[in-house]
Structure 1
């Protein structure tokens, strides 16, 4: 039998890997949202940091760091004047070999040749031009000079067309003639495209003839134009990055080389056409190279082209411009710069962004990213789960409340099932009812008989009736909550309590009330994105008024009132509906607030206050509330606020069952 070998899957993401759980991504976003960030900012922060629970997956910050490291490596690769340095060296070598050949010859012709060599200008391009018609005595010198001209021809053309250096490796006149034909047909194709006459078939025929000169294998004219324009812009940046003397010398060498190759006019025309199509590229922006190794013109152009691509990629990865989206990031550029694995990481990030919207956690409304009610419910469940995980097992009892809901302790009795019942089914009595009714089926091959159940057979186990509660959570929204760093904890606590009541105690009526200069009822969907109010005033008086109306609407419910605040009352509601602020608190503010406390006491509502600051005036006020009402005062840290509030609520519900 043939053997099998197994190894790591390398062709992209692991097809057998479990799909990423977007709920974990939402939980990570939730921490930032509860701290005051917008959903869009929270999503961007998640994408920058990378995905939790996905080892090896890089976020945008890590990809950005690697891009910047790659740019640093490229800048340190070498100098840009390598072609000039090589050309000068070959020229000096050819002249030296010629002088060595002429020196032993005593003839006047030798002296005249030496004088001609002595008169050569220091400018490399001009010296090469003058020597173009020189009749070399030394065969080695002639060969070196031809090597110089071949070097310039290949470097100049490769700077414009990547891969041309290999195509012209041998000094073949037919190869140069083919390049001239390619340039002529390329310019003609661009002109036809400008007139709207170009077709894909024209491009396909062009690539069939000259595709080997374009190793990137563009699929259409637009890709070819983009490829050539980026290369031409990099060559222009190379000239701009040299000193004025080096620039003039290299430019003269390029022009002379193209003239001698008979393609100068065609190359100028191509450059003009490419610039007209892509003026957005950085054509004349200099780039600083810090390396010591001299780079040839083609290699230097390649380095500058890659640096430009990396600069664009860095801008896209930063995602710090209006309307930025991950779809703006060019996957081809990521692959060229960082490899296939980086493309896979980017695709995971894109998938998370898409999945959060497609699975109904995020929505875009009028260009703004918002949380959906489904996302808010998820954040509430997460907040409640974190609260429960922080409770010490056994210290406050079993807080998972497995008997939660309308059902309570079993009484031992049962009754016929009615539509809407939430009590557990009494299985034994249900089956007995079916047997008595004659619901036994025929015997099967094993001797057993099936029981056919009818609706009238079902009975439910009776349970103790639970007392429903009217729950009010009053949350301080004042600016001081943000300053003290307790704002996120307060929101998380509100979400956790609301989730607990609606899921575990559906018979209860819960209301979340926020208060600053005014008080208002907060809907569940706005809790997560709620921000603190940058206004003056802690209007507990107004909040108690609203809470009192909630309790009065449920007179038969047990009242549960919880207050979370970090400051004493400094505002109250006046008769005209406006608020009055004064600090230190006015006598009227304190009297009106305490009057509402007394009304709560007459409603048999115990006020438990969770004090988030150690202010002496606040402590004196809450002590007076506790004295009048009989409620309790807690001083939890922000990290344990949710634990205290939920535990107190559960204690109250357990006591009132």
Structure 2
């Protein structure tokens, strides 16, 4: 029987995931926008946090934390002088084996003089490894074991030096195979020639493909073109330079001497110099200088150390890109291939999801660019209002009339439980069941054909429409007390509630500071407080009265959100006048507008967002004159109070 093993899908995004819903991203941005952030700042904040919940994606901060963790781990396990340490150990081993053989020779009178001469040569070797190896290059070893150890040392250096420039050559050059070394020489020469032709504009992709067919096994990363190959080699060459710079001066000199000596002995010194100069000229933007502070205890080979420094360079560049803290920073600045190398495929998917957020917010009509700035569209404002309303409804107690979702929301009446024949111009919903029953009775067996006479509509009772006025304090104190975002969210929620569930109502939102002004629904989300002096409730009530007078047959609803008593009024010439403490004229004119509201049968309910005694006395006077109520909600429950009060008034009517 065939056996199947199931596991987590790891080859890209989940192919069975639901379609991308950018509305969740807009909802996440909503709180920041309502608190006064610009759409661009709110979007950048969202990209830093990521998308929470099931199917969410990590944000830039999550990826940055992963980068910092990888850097810390890599530095703690990396030690750069491993090749020097191993070379010194092999050299000491070879010299020790040779001395043991010389001791045996000294016992033979015929060989004693030769043994003494050779021991003197070994005693006079320079203390540093590089010069000692150079002087022993022509030494005629008397010990076969010492000769094999020294050849192992030279093979090690040859493999490590070339592996530091061409990843993967260490294993290929582990054995002293002259044919393999000659092939490497030809490859470097052919590569230099190809780079020179490319500089003259003569290189073709066919030439590169032929080069890879011939030498592709030397390049395990399988570059697809010359630019990718140059990038891989340049990054490795730059990491080699940083490795040398990160050693002590003595270690740097010693390892550099070993590299030069090894390349000369391999017949590669001139070609490698040509290649290094070309790589630097083509990629001067790489980190060719600088030191890496590493603290590992286990020594690493030169090739492995270069690989570690390559990865550290990627992580350093990725850290800078993910911080996005430089002028003009964009997500497109983050190199996807670098993310893949450093953090894996899942991080690439997270990054692509973040990039999609901005694209989809524009493509789906939630954001638009105007003169380089991101702005909310009316569609986005409606969405924020719906989200604010959902949050408010989720906190309302269930069971109360009008305090839960209604299936027939949007129609101008309530179903009576009966139906009647459809007439031209009817806006009531179709009674589908009765309509189909009428068609069956008239036509008999299926297929059933509907005619105009079959249609029936749900009979409804029209409820009294309301003229709603929400007056919001825009003064600076609202921002200082942290109540501004709650007031905006409340205005959006009420606007959404009236427009979607009670479309027959006429709602007007009025903001007031030194002046009062009518606020359009599409400007509510980006609305900001006014940094001016004055709380001109007098002017706001004037505008509200005009709105009520334009709808004389509507039930009047007036709600005021404020955190301070009136400190300004509108003078006859239309100029506001500010006084603190409030003048008697300001109080008298404001209460006169309250009396006019009372004569219009408009109840004023005040939502007081501060515990100031003067404000409390003033709103109690409004309640005494008008018969309205006073509420003192906390900012996080302001929307719940306002919506509940509105729905209670609707139910009462």
TM-score range, shorter chain: over 0.9
State which drifts further: 513-522 or 630-639: 513-522
Which residue of the partner structure matches residue 527 of structure 1?
524
Please identify, of 154-163 and 576-585, the stretch whose mean Cα deviation from structure 2 is larger.
Answer: 576-585
Whether 2:553 is the aligned partner of 1:556: answer yes
The structural deviation recorded for 1:460 is: 4.4
How far does the alpha carbon of each residue in 1:288-335 deviate from its partner, in whole angstroms, 9 at most, with x for none? 110111111111111011000011222222333344343333333223
Is the counterpart of residue 453 in structure 1 residue 451 in structure 2?
Answer: yes
Give the superposition deviation at 1:397.
5.7
1:639 pairs with 2:625: no
Within 2, Cα distance between the matches of 1:121 and 1:568? 91
**Hey, what does 1:249 align to over in structure 2?**
254
Task: Report the number of matched residues.
Answer: 647
TM-score normalized by the length of structure 2: 0.93
- Give runs of aligned pairs for residues 103-502 of structure 1, distance below 5 A: 103-104=103-104, 105=106, 107-395=112-400, 398-401=403-406, 404=409, 405-408=411-414, 410=416, 414=420, 417-419=423-425, 421-425=426-430, 440-441=442-443, 443-444=444-445, 450=448, 452-454=450-452, 458=455, 460=457, 462-502=459-499
Q: Cα 1:431–1:298, aligned 2, differ >3 Å: closer, same or farther?
A: closer
Q: 1:167 to 1:411 in 2, by over 3 A?
A: closer
Structure 2 matches for 1:533-612, cutoff 5 A? 533-612=530-609
Alpha carbons of structure 1 residues 22 and 413: separation in structure 2 relative to 1, 3 Å: closer
Cα pair 1:34 1:488 within 8 Å, conserved? yes
- How far is the alpha carbon of 1:223 from its aligned partner? 0.6
Superimposed CA distance per residue, residues 521-557 of structure 1 (whole angstroms, 9 cap, x where no aligned partner): 2211121222222333222222222222222222222
Q: Is the 8 A contact 1:431 1:453 kept in 2?
A: no
Secondary structure of the structure 2 residue equivalent to 1:569: coil
Given that 1:493 and 1:642 are in contact with CA atoms closer than 8 Å, whether structure 2 keeps it comes out as yes
Distance 1:329-1:426 versus aligned 2 partners, 3 A rule? closer
Query: In the alignment, is the contact (CA less than 8 A) between 2:173 and 2:181 conserved in 1?
Result: yes
The equivalent residue for 1:615 is: 612
Q: Are the aligned partners of 1:440 and 1:452 in contact in 2 as well (CA < 8 Å)?
A: no
Query: How far apart, in 1, do the equivalents of 2:435 and 2:211 lie?
Result: 83
- Determine the structure 1 residue equivalent to 2:59: 59
SS class of match (1:506): coil
Return the alpha-carbon distance in structure 1 between the equivalents of residues 131 and 449 of structure 2. Answer: 108
Q: Distance in 2 between matches of 1:162 and 1:449?
A: 75
Secondary structure at the counterpart of residue 77 of structure 2: coil
CA contact (8 A) 2:60 2:322 kept: yes
Residue by residue over 1:548-574, the C-alpha shift from the partner in whole angstroms, topping out at 9 and shown as x without a partner, is: 222222222222111111111222333
| Cα distance in structure 1, aligned partners of 2:228 and 2:31 | 43
> Corresponding residue for 1:77?
77
Instruction: Quote the offset at 1:399 in angstroms.
Output: 4.3
Structure 1 residues 129 and 597, CA gap change in structure 2 (3 angstroms):
same
Query: How big is each residue's C-alpha offset from its partner over 1:356-412, in whole Å with a ceiling of 9 and x where there is no partner?
Result: 332222333333222222221111111111211211123566444555531246396
Q: Is contact 2:415–2:458 with CA below 8 Å preserved after alignment? A: no
Distance apart, 1:7 and its partner CA: 4.0
- Mark the CA change 1:569 to 1:170 in structure 2 (over 3 Å): closer, same or farther: same
Structure 1 runs (4+) greater than 6 angstroms displaced:
426-435
* Aligned-partner SS, 1:364: strand
Measure the CA separation in 1 of the matches of 2:615 and 2:168: 77
- TM (norm. structure 1) is 0.92
Please state whether the residue corresponding to 1:120 is helix, strand or coil: coil
CA 401–560 in structure 1, closer or farther in 2 if over 3 Å, else same:
farther
Q: Distance in 1 between matches of 2:430 and 2:9?
A: 51
Residues 1:241 and 1:575: Cα distance change in structure 2 (over 3 Å): farther
SS at match of 1:290: coil
Structure 2: runs of 5+ lacking an equivalent: none
Tell me by how many angstroms 1:40 deviates: 2.5
Offset from partner CA, 1:588-632 (integer Å, 9 cap, x none): 322332222222223222211100111111111111222222221
Q: Distance in 2 between matches of 1:33 and 1:593?
A: 32
Q: Which residue in the other structure is 1:516 paired with?
A: 513
Counterpart secondary structure, 1:532:
coil
Contact in 2 for aligned 1:415/1:462 (Cα 8 Å): no
Q: Post-superposition shift, 1:428?
A: 8.9
SS at match of 2:633: coil
Q: SS at 2:174's partner residue?
A: coil
Secondary structure of the 1:76 match is: helix
**More displaced, 180-189 or 597-606?**
597-606
1:30 aligns with 2:36: no
d(CA) in 1 for partners of 2:517 and 2:328? 34
Contact 1:24 1:52 in 2 (8 A): no
- Cα separation, 1, equivalents of 2:402 and 2:543: 32
Per-residue displacement from partner, 1:157-211 (whole Å, max 9, x unpaired)? 1111111112212211221221111111111211221222211111111111111
SS in 2 for 1:529: coil
Contact 1:568–1:618, Cα closer than 8 Å, also in 2: yes
Shift of 1:4: 4.8
Query: 2: CA distance between counterparts of 1:145 and 1:372?
Result: 75
2 CA distance for matches of 1:449 and 1:48? 59
The answer for unaligned runs of 5 or more in structure 1 is none
**Counterpart-to-counterpart distance in 2, 1:45 and 1:203:** 45
8 Å CA contact 2:397, 2:403 repeated in 1: no
Conserved in 2, the CA contact under 8 Å of 1:411 and 1:464? no
Structure 1 residues 238 and 440: CA distance shift in structure 2, 3 A: same
